[in-house]
Structure 1
Amino acid sequence: MSKAKRLLDILMFVTTKKKFTAQEIADEFHISIRTVHRYILDLSDMGLPIYSEQGRNGGYTVLTSRFLPPILFTEEEAVSIFYAFESLNYYRNLPFDTVISSVEHKLYSSLQSEAKIKIDKIRSYIAFWNPKRTIDTPLLNDVLKYSIENRNLHIQYDSKSGIRKKHIRPIGVYAHDGLWYLPAYDYHKKKILLYRVDRILSILSTEENEDEFMNLKEWFNFIEVKNPIRLHVLLTMEGIRQCKSVPYFEGFVVTQEDGAGYIDTIIDRGELNFITSLFLRLGSHARILEPKELIVGLRKQAEEILTMYQDDN
């Protein structure tokens, strides 16, 4: 049996047992104690965190249960995994940012020269682009951690009306358009609101919860409409194109045979402020029929812009 195969077998054996003696390995693989010690030194040099204990009841302990045995990938699999990491490069902050960089480096370094040349060439022809934001999100890891741990948070939040203290129950975090968002239950307003993670200035304290709450996946599948209102909009071909590029709208767009189309759906009234700016950007490519509140909001914003640019002469 080759040394590489023997090392792999011993690695899988010790990571399963966690605590073992040299004699156990010698008996399992029918090798000498001296050979066992050489193999353990080799595994330690490879990065396996092994702690040795001297004495009558001594032996070896693998210091972490999260160390994985080697996984064999084909070249195509390795390239696809590498580009899964590359797709995250345009985000300024990521959960586990240092770990992701370390994994990416290890994966690239382990590839054969042909695969490295392939990756280097592909880099010149493909990118998973998001707007490169200069805004820091220093509390991203903490917010994600407390979401997973099912904790309430008392935070300081930089809202449009100024810095406010919030008591929230986070659901999870997601990235969109280069920014990180946190849907969370607001105990004061008694509903789920959407927060920008970069606007969380500090986490003042946390509280444990005994009961379970919905997670991010469940929230995406169930967004409650408490105050329903009809959204009915006629769209030109350009309006169709632009609406399909906005995640909020794309599931509502209906395209007709002539290329034009419409949106006719039910939304929550609380979304009106959010979508007003989206429709203002569409200009004449979207004609709103309902609701009247949205038309009034668009007229108000348009008048404010006209007033700002009035010619005094």
Structure 2
Amino acid sequence: MQINRLFEIIYILLNKELITAPELAEHFEVSVRTIYRDIDTLSSAGIPIYAVQGKGGGISLLDDYILDKSLLTEKEQNEILYALQSLSIAKAPESEDVLDRLSRLFNKNKTSWIEVDFSPWGSDEKRSFQFTIIKDAILSHRIIEFNYFSSSGEKSARRVEPVKLIFKVHAWYLQGFCLTRNAYRTFKIARMADLLMTEQVFTERVPGELKNGVQAEKTQKWIQVCLRISDEGAYRVYDEFDEKDVTKNGEGSFTVTTLLPENEWLIRYILSFGADVKILSPPHIRDRLRNELNKISSKY
């Protein structure tokens, strides 16, 4: 929507002394003509925005400009502050400074309404710092290097063009083009070590290629699994399963009927419930679990 774009243009100009119309057009994925129309709209609204022609020129605000809070409703002021706070959580450049200034302008106390901690319980700040490195590498199109441990524990050195961070099924992943394997790959963040952002800049590849690199996920076989989880395991039921898949039984246990991927992960996932779970169906998954338990028992 144009109104959102206009406010974001003001936000950008508050943080930059000068920016060109083509740069704004590329950022918003609109034409340069549209940007100039936006500039005219802002000027007509009394915002002192001007353009400098020629080499080294661009669009800017007067140095002493202060956003007129009367232009915004109470709800719009809150939405801007909340959006900026969410940006500061992700460590967006200078968002904290702008948040402070706008909070004072709107005469509002900053409400700490959101907190995001990317690291698991008990980990140190190093894990959280990984996300800052990856985010910066994605935004600046710079290659990253790290050691990666596969699900079987094998260690390999990787060079990757990072594309996207994904949170899925209680874990963070990175999608990117692996220069070591010459193909798109999905990496589990928890298995990455010695992460480093290099100075080498890469050119963004065709977006469609990313889909070809993650098709294994689409071909994964899914099966319907029925589990009975005891009342001792209740704390995990609504955290990990959709409410429509859960039936609470009279004695306090739960019956869960849901779709799960049929692979080694499934057996290990069910084992994570310990004695709090019983597989009702399908029978072959029950047999696989029994075999796994026999292997574990034989070790002791």
Relative to the length of structure 1, the TM-score reads 0.53
- Partner residue of 1:202 out of 196, 199, 208: 196
Q: Return the offset for 1:147.
A: 3.8
- Contact between 1:184 and 1:195, CA under 8 Å: does it hold in 2? no
1:282 matched to 2:273? The reply is yes
Q: Which residue of 2 aligns with 1:224?
A: 217
Aligned in 2, Cα 1:107/1:138: closer, same or farther, shift over 3 Å? same
Counterpart-to-counterpart distance in 2, 1:179 and 1:71: 44
- Partner residue of 2:147 out of 152, 157, 162: 157
Counterpart-to-counterpart distance in 2, 1:215 and 1:174: 13
1:254 matched to 2:245? The reply is yes
- Partner residue of 2:53 out of 5, 8, 19: 19
Residues 256-271 of structure 1 mapped to structure 2, 5 A cutoff: 256=247, 258=249, 260-267=254-261, 269=263, 271=265
Q: Give the partner amino acid of 2:257.
A: I
- Contact between 1:183 and 1:194, CA under 8 Å: does it hold in 2? yes
Q: Return the offset for 1:215.
A: 6.5
- Partner residue of 2:134 out of 143, 160, 165: 143
State the aligned residue count: 236
Deviations 1:150-187 (A, max 9, x none): 77x46222536475311445330146899853133556
Structure of higher CA gyration radius:
1
Aligned in 2, Cα 1:10/1:142: closer, same or farther, shift over 3 Å? same
Higher relative contact order (CA 8 A, sep 6+): 1
Counterpart-to-counterpart distance in 2, 1:182 and 1:224: 14
- Contact between 1:253 and 1:263, CA under 8 Å: does it hold in 2? no
Counterpart-to-counterpart distance in 1, 2:114 and 2:248: 34
Q: Give the partner amino acid of 1:77.
A: E
Q: Return the offset for 1:234.
A: 0.9
Q: Give the partner amino acid of 1:106.
A: R
Q: Which residue of 1 aligns with 2:30?
A: none
Counterpart-to-counterpart distance in 2, 1:71 and 1:295: 69
Counterpart-to-counterpart distance in 2, 1:181 and 1:159: 13
Q: Return the offset for 1:8.
A: 6.3
- Contact between 1:86 and 1:128, CA under 8 Å: does it hold in 2? no
Q: Give the partner amino acid of 1:166.
A: R
Q: Give the partner amino acid of 2:181.
A: H
Q: What residue ranges of structure 1 are gaps of 5+ in the alignment?
A: 21-39, 48-67, 308-313
Deviations 1:59-99 (A, max 9, x none): xxxxxxxxx9989432333334434555678x6xx342x42
SS at match of 2:219: coil
Counterpart-to-counterpart distance in 1, 2:70 and 2:274: 54
Q: Which residue of 2 aligns with 1:82?
A: 81
